Amino acid sequence: MSIYSELILDHYQHPRNFGIIVNPTLKSFVSNPLCGDEIEVAIKIEKGKVAEIKFQGRGCAISLAAASMLTEFLKGKPKEQLKKINKEHMIKMLGIELGVNRIKCALLPLEALKKL
Ligand code: FES
């Protein structure tokens, strides 16, 4: 039996907002030095809102599912929301208990967001 929830597996297998944005307003890239996984987040802001948000990269199920959930949550939100989202919010979105190492996976997309 999988240790991940169905929701995480669904986001991992069918990532939302995976791809690139041509001429994004903001873009950032992070990698996890422990495993080499990488995530790039790109955003287009229009009229003060997150008009488009996409990510790409390679990573484990947790990091890619977290990126998928995060981008899905932020799409269409006011741009101020980009600064408000935090670690607790990410963990809540994933909805499972995470050990120390897996927390780093879950927070990789958030780290990219904070670097924007
Ligand atoms: Fe690399 Fe999860 S194992 S981010």
pTM: 0.94
CATH number for the domain harbouring residue 58: 3.90.1010.10
In a domain, 65, yes or no: yes
Confidence of residue 2 (pLDDT cuts 50, 70, 90): low
- Residue 63 belongs to what domain range? 6-114
105 found inside a domain: yes
pLDDT (tens digit, 9 = 90+) per residue, 15-47? 999 999 999 999 999 999 989 999 999 999 999
Span from the CA of 63 to the centroid of ligand 1 (angstroms) = 6
Cβ atoms < 10 Å from Cβ of 17:
20
Longest dimension (CA), the chain: 46
- Whether residue 1 is contained in a domain is answered as no
Query: How far does the centroid of ligand 1 lie from the alpha carbon of residue 46, in Å?
Result: 32
For the CA of 35, the closest atom of ligand 1 is: 1
- Measured distance CA(81)–CA(75) in Å, rounded: 10
Q: Is the CB of 105 under 6 A from ligand 1?
A: yes
Number of domain units in the chain:
1
- Span 57-106, pLDDT tens digits: 999 999 999 999 999 999 999 999 999 999 999 999 999 888 888 999 99
